[in-house]
Amino acid sequence: MRNILLNPGPVTLSDGVRGALTRADLCHREDEFATLQSGLREKLLRVYDLPADEWAAILLTGSGTAAVEAMLASCVPQDGRLLIIENGVYGERMQRIAEAYAMAHQSVRCAWIEAIELTEIRALLAGGNFSHVAVVHHETTTGRLNNLRALGEICAMTNTRMLVDAVSSFGAESIDFSQWPIDACAATANKCLHGVPGTAFVVARRNVFDQPHEKPRSVYLNLAEYLAKQDAGGTPFTQSVQTFYALDEALNEFFAAGGVIARQRLFQGRMAQIRTALERLGVVGLLPVQDCSCVLQAFELPEGMAYDNLHDQMKRRGFIIYAGQGSLAVSAFRISAMGDINTGDMNRLLDALQEILA
Ligand SMILES: Cc1ncc(COP(=O)(O)O)c(C=O)c1O
C-alpha cells in the first residue's frame, strides 16, 4: 500500500523525482552543476513566464522559511519600512523575522479565520510611511488564499512594493507579476512543484539588488550575493545538489503536465472531491469555499472526534492528514491536494473518510 502525504509538504513523490535523487555524484564547483543550476533558474522563471532581463530566480539550500527570511532580510533596504500583514502562523513568522533583524516594521493583525483588513491597510499605506508590504499569498494555517489582487491595487496606488510569501502557492495559484507591484516572492521545491525538501528559492526583480553600497543584514541569507554568484555560474555556499536534481525532474514533469494552469485544475479537482465527500459526511469547511486556495483546505473536526484519533485511523489506511495550528489544533484538521496522487489513491482516500466518519 502506498503512503500518501496529505500534509502541506513534503509531498508524495513521483518515481521520476525519487529516482533523480540518485543521479551521478556532482561537485557544486563543476561546470555540470553550473548547467544544472542555470537550467533550474530558467525553468523557475518559466513557471510564470517571467523575462530573465527583469527577474531572477535565486536558489537556496534550506526550507521555505529560509527563502522568506532571505527575501525580507535582503529586499527591504536599511532605510525601508515594512508593513506586515498577518492572518495566520506564516504572517506571524514574518513579523518574528522582522523583529529578529530589528527592521523598521509594523503589523496589521487580522483574526486567523478572517480575510485581510484592506481598509486599515489602505489607510496605513496612504500615510506614506511604508516602502514595502509583506504578505502571505496562501495562508496555510487556514487554507485561505489572501486577496493579493485587491492588495496589489492598493500597493500600486500608494507606491509600495510587495514581498510575497508564496511558499504554498507558487506553481499552483495565479500570481500576477505584471500587475501587482511585486519585488520578490519566496517559495520552495517541496510543495506545489512536487520536488523534495531542501531547495527553496526567491523570484525577485533584478533591480532590487542595484544598490551595491547597501549593507547586508545577513551573511548566509544575502540574496544580492547569491544572485551575483549564480549569474556567474557559481554559488556562495555548498548547495544541496541532489535536491536540485529532484527539482529539475519535478519541473520537467510540471511542464509536461501543462504548467500552472494544469496544476491548479488538478488540485481544484482533488479538493472538490474531498470537500464534497466530507460535506456529505457532515464535516464542514473552516472557510467558505470561494476563500480557499486550491492547495489545501481546513475542516472542522466532527463533534466528539479528537484529531489524534482521526489522524491515526487515516494513517493506518495509508494517508497522512495534518492538524490545525495554534488555537485551531483542537477544532480543525487540514488536507492538502498536492503530490503524485493517482485516481486509485483518491478513491481509497474517499473510502477511508467514509469508513471513519460515517
Ligand atoms: C505559507 C508558508 N510559508 C512558510 C512556510 C514555511 O516553510 P518551511 O516549513 O518549509 O520552512 C510554510 C510551510 O508550510 C508555509 O505554508
Closest approach atom of ligand 1 to CA 200 = 10
Report helix, strand or coil for 241: helix
What average pLDDT score do residues 122-143 get? 97
d(CA 196, CA 140): 18
Record the cell numbers describing residue 335, joined without a space.
488536507
Assign 213 a pLDDT band (cuts: 50, 70, 90). confident
CA 127 to ligand 1 center in whole angstroms = 31
CA 168 to ligand 1 center in whole angstroms = 7
Q: What single-letter DSSP state applies at residue 290?
A: G
What average pLDDT score do residues 68-76 get? 98
Q: Name the amino acid, one letter, at 148.
A: L
Strands (E), the chain: 4-5, 55-62, 82-86, 105-109, 132-136, 138-139, 144-145, 161-165, 182-188, 198-205, 296-300, 319-320, 322-323, 332-336
Q: Looking at residue 1, what is its pLDDT?
A: 76
Q: What single-letter DSSP state applies at residue 262?
A: H
pLDDT in tens, 231-268: 999 999 999 999 999 999 999 999 999 999 999 999 99
d(CA 82, CA 132): 5
Q: 233 with 91: CB under 8 angstroms?
A: no
d(CA 5, CA 43): 26
Closest approach atom of ligand 1 to CA 188 = 10
Closest approach atom of ligand 1 to CA 137 = 1
CA 336 to ligand 1 center in whole angstroms = 13
Q: Is the pLDDT of residue 138 over 90?
A: yes
**90-96 contacts: CB < 8 A, separation 24 or more?**
90/136, 90/139, 90/140, 90/141, 90/165, 90/167, 91/134, 91/135, 91/136, 91/139, 91/165, 93/65, 93/68, 94/68, 94/134, 94/136, 94/165
d(CA 349, CA 352): 5
**In the sheet that 82-86 helps form, which strands lie side by side, from edge to edge?**
55-62, 198-205, 182-188, 161-165, 132-136, 82-86, 105-109
CA 358 to ligand 1 center in whole angstroms = 33
Record the cell numbers describing residue 332, joined without a space.
480543525
Q: 288 with 135: CB under 8 angstroms?
A: no
- Give nearest CA residue, ligand 1 atom 8: 64
Record the cell numbers describing residue 254, joined without a space.
510540471
Q: Give the residues surrounding ligand 1 with Cβ less than 6 Å away.
A: 8-9, 63-65, 68, 90, 136, 138, 140, 165, 167-168, 188
d(CA 221, CA 58): 11
Rg over alpha carbons for the chain, rounded to the nearest Å, is 20
CA 142 to ligand 1 center in whole angstroms = 13
CA 90 to ligand 1 center in whole angstroms = 7
Assign 212 a pLDDT band (cuts: 50, 70, 90). confident
Contacts of 256 (CB under 8 A, 6+ apart): none
Closest approach atom of ligand 1 to CA 139 = 1
Q: Which residue from 189, 187, 230 is spatially nearest to 209, judged by alpha carbons?
A: 230
Q: Which domains does the chain have, with CATH numbers?
A: 4-8+259-357 (3.90.1150.10), 24-256 (3.40.640.10)
Assign 310 a pLDDT band (cuts: 50, 70, 90). very high
What average pLDDT score do residues 96-121 get? 96
CA 139 to ligand 1 center in whole angstroms = 9
d(CA 246, CA 23): 9
Residue 228 — φ and ψ, nearest 5°? -60, -45
- Residue 92: C-alpha distances to residues 32, 109, 195, 308, 346 (Å): 40, 9, 26, 26, 33
Out of 188, 202, 221, 247, mutate this one to test ligand 1's pocket (max ligand atoms within 8 Å of CB): namely 188
User: First-to-last CA distance in the chain?
Assistant: 23
- Give nearest CA residue, ligand 1 atom 7: 64
CA 332 to ligand 1 center in whole angstroms = 19
- Give nearest CA residue, ligand 1 atom 2: 167
pTM of the model: 0.98
d(CA 94, CA 88): 10
Q: What single-letter DSSP state applies at residue 158?
A: T
CA 9 to ligand 1 center in whole angstroms = 9
What average pLDDT score do residues 212-224 get? 94
Closest approach atom of ligand 1 to CA 65 = 11
pLDDT in tens, 183-198: 999 999 999 999 999 9
Q: Element (H or E) spanning 149, and its range? A: helix 148-157
Closest approach atom of ligand 1 to CA 197 = 10
Question: If you average pLDDT over every residue of the chain, what do you get?
Answer: 97
